[in-house]
């Protein structure tokens, strides 16, 4: 094997220094916040520095410290990393389980206290398994974790696990005279260079994950209505402007539904505003369950909602609106032992747009159709065929009779 050696004490000093600096920086930045795992990782980095400092003192301090305690602490470092990942993911603490590998580490190190080769193999295998465990914890939630920071974390954990298991394999094939902790050979150089890189990768990965999640939370606050989970007015208008421009450019149809809950004030007056909030939420969920992934449900204001339907003509929008009206009429919402029934009135515009048409014109047309639906008795659908200040109305055939929202 080609020799590739570096000064092991120097590499240990690099690991210690990087761990201490990152721990101090994280402690300052997170300010004691526990929910994202960074405060715990800061503590784990401090533990990592202590463990590697004891390793660096091999021969200068008792073996009980530089061998037994140091290797046990390294196992605790991996346990802390697993727990930090679980904490970031909002999963329950599992300290008894994640700390369990420290027990065999302690036992094996004491058994092989005078056999460096056997001890090296045993410790490398257990720590490698712990690294894969941490990697699996990240992989298990990769689809629900926002951003790319998780890939840095997975890269660091995968690299650490691979090197530790390769280290165990190589140690088993080397003569005893060729290995030693502070000996600057290829095996130890590979191990401690990887450790230094992994400290950086995992720390940057966790920090990036926390920042990306915070950015996503801010994005949601800026674009989602907190009460109903629908797009808020700002996000809705932005999407409508974008889709109108695309529809004009591509000569595609676009449709807009304006949905208004009938007699919503009666719900608030009779059952209170908390019940009204429950009705708003239930209506939005019913709307979202029956539209396509490319459609958008947004709260325009009060009890009025817009449903944006890209690539949809008037006939398709009319069919959906009638279905939505029927769904809402059959919807029953339990509130404090009572059952609230609701109906909706829906104004619809759909068709192709011309250069110069705007999102305001779509809203105006569909809103005028909604006005007609309410004027004609509510719990019905009306269609607007043209974009103009008072659009031509088409008989929707949604529902001839009208009755107010039932309160049961």
Which of 223, 246, 266 finishes a domain?
223
Q: Is residue 201 located within the same domain as residue 248?
A: no
Q: Is residue 321 located within the same domain as residue 276?
A: yes
What was the pLDDT predicted at 179?
A: 54
Task: Give the rounded distance of the alpha carbon of 158 from its chain centre.
Answer: 21
Task: Give the rounded distance of the alpha carbon of 335 from its chain centre.
Answer: 32
Tell me 408's DSSP state.
Answer: -
Which residue range(s) make up the domain with 299? 233-394
Residue 1: inside a domain, yes or no?
no
Q: Is residue 140 located within the same domain as residue 256?
A: no
Q: Is residue 157 located within the same domain as residue 285?
A: no
Distance (Å, whole) CA 336 – CA 3: 76
Tell the burial category of 92 from Cβ atoms under 10 Å away from its Cβ (0-12, 13-18, 19+).
exposed
Q: By the 8 A CB rule, do 228 and 281 touch?
A: yes
Nearest to 43 by CA among 77, 93, 91: 77
pLDDT band at 32 (very low <50, low <70, confident <90, very high): low
Which of 171, 202, 223 finishes a domain?
223
Of residues 32 and 159, the one with the higher pLDDT is 159
What was the pLDDT predicted at 192?
A: 86
Residue 2: inside a domain, yes or no?
no
The CATH number that applies at residue 30 is 1.20.1070
Task: Give the model confidence (pLDDT) of 11-30 as tens digits.
Answer: 899 999 999 999 999 998 88
Quick check: 391 pLDDT over 90? Answer: no
The CATH number that applies at residue 376 is 3.30.70.270
What was the pLDDT predicted at 181?
A: 62
Q: Is residue 15 located within the same domain as residue 120?
A: yes
Distance (Å, whole) CA 290 – CA 319: 12
Q: Is residue 181 located within the same domain as residue 299?
A: no
3-class SS at 125?
Answer: helix
Mean pLDDT calculated for residue range 85-98: 92
Residue 314: inside a domain, yes or no?
yes
Quick check: 33 pLDDT over 80? Answer: no
Q: Is residue 219 located within the same domain as residue 328?
A: no
Q: Is residue 217 located within the same domain as residue 237?
A: no
pLDDT band at 5 (very low <50, low <70, confident <90, very high): low
pLDDT band at 48 (very low <50, low <70, confident <90, very high): very high
Residue 284: inside a domain, yes or no?
yes
Q: Is residue 243 located within the same domain as residue 382?
A: yes
Report the domain count for the chain.
2
Tokens for 185, please give them. 């050979």
Nearest to 257 by CA among 141, 137, 102, 363: 363
Residue 403: inside a domain, yes or no?
no
Q: Is residue 255 located within the same domain as residue 185?
A: no
Residue 400: inside a domain, yes or no?
no
Which of 223, 250, 271 finishes a domain?
223
Max alpha carbon distance in the chain (Å)? 96
Scan for tokens 């809203």, then name that residue.
363
What was the pLDDT predicted at 280?
A: 95
Quick check: 232 pLDDT over 60? Answer: yes
35-39, 200-204, 213-217, 235-239 — which is least confidently predicted?
Answer: 35-39
Task: Give the model confidence (pLDDT) of 114-158 as tens digits.
Answer: 888 899 899 999 999 999 999 999 999 998 898 999 999 999 999
* Statement: the pTM of the whole predicted model exceeds 0.95: no
pLDDT band at 389 (very low <50, low <70, confident <90, very high): very low
């Amino acid at each position: 094997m080609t020799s590739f050696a570096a000064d092991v004490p120097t590499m240990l000093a690099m690991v210690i220094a990087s761990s201490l600096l990152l721990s101090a920086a994280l402690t300052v930045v997170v300010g004691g916040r526990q929910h994202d795992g960074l405060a715990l990782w800061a503590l784990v980095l401090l533990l990592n520095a202590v463990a590697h400092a004891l390793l660096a003192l091999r021969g200068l301090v008792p073996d009980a410290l530089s061998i037994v305690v140091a290797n046990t602490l390294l196992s605790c470092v991996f346990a802390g990393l697993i727990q930090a990942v679980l904490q970031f993911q909002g999963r329950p603490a599992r300290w008894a389980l994640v700390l369990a590998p420290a027990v065999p580490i302690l036992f094996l190190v004491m058994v092989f206290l005078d056999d460096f080769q056997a001890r090296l193999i045993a410790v490398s295998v257990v720590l490698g398994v712990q690294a894969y465990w941490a990697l699996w914890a990240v992989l298990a939630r990769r689809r629900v974790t926002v951003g790319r920071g998780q890939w840095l974390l997975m890269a660091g954990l995968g690299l650490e696990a691979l090197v530790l298991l390769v280290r165990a394999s190589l140690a088993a094939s080397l003569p005893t005279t060729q290995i030693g902790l502070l000996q600057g050979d290829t095996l130890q150089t590979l191990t401690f260079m990887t450790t230094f890189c992994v400290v950086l990768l995992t720390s940057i990965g966790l920090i990036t994950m926390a920042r990306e999640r915070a950015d996503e939370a801010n994005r949601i606050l800026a674009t989602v209505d907190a009460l109903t989970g629908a797009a808020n007015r700002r996000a809705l208008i932005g999407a409508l402007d974008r889709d109108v421009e695309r529809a004009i450019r591509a000569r595609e149809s676009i449709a807009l539904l304006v949905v208004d809950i009938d007699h919503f004030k009666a719900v608030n007056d009779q059952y209170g505003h908390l019940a009204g909030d429950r009705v708003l939420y239930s209506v939005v969920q019913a709307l979202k369950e029956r539209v396509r992934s490319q459609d958008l449900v947004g709260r325009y204001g009060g009890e009025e909602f817009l449903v944006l339907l890209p690539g949809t003509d008037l006939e398709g929008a009319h069919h959906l609106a009638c279905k939505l009206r029927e769904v809402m009429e059959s919807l029953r919402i339990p509130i404090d032992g009572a059952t609230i029934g609701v109906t909706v009135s829906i104004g619809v515009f759909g068709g192709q747009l011309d250069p110069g048409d705007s999102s305001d014109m779509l809203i105006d047309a569909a809103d005028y159709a909604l006005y007609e639906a309410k004027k004609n008795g509510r719990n019905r659908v009306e269609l607007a065929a043209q974009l103009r200040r008072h659009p031509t109305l088409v008989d929707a055939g949604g529902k001839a009779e009208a009755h107010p929202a039932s309160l049961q």
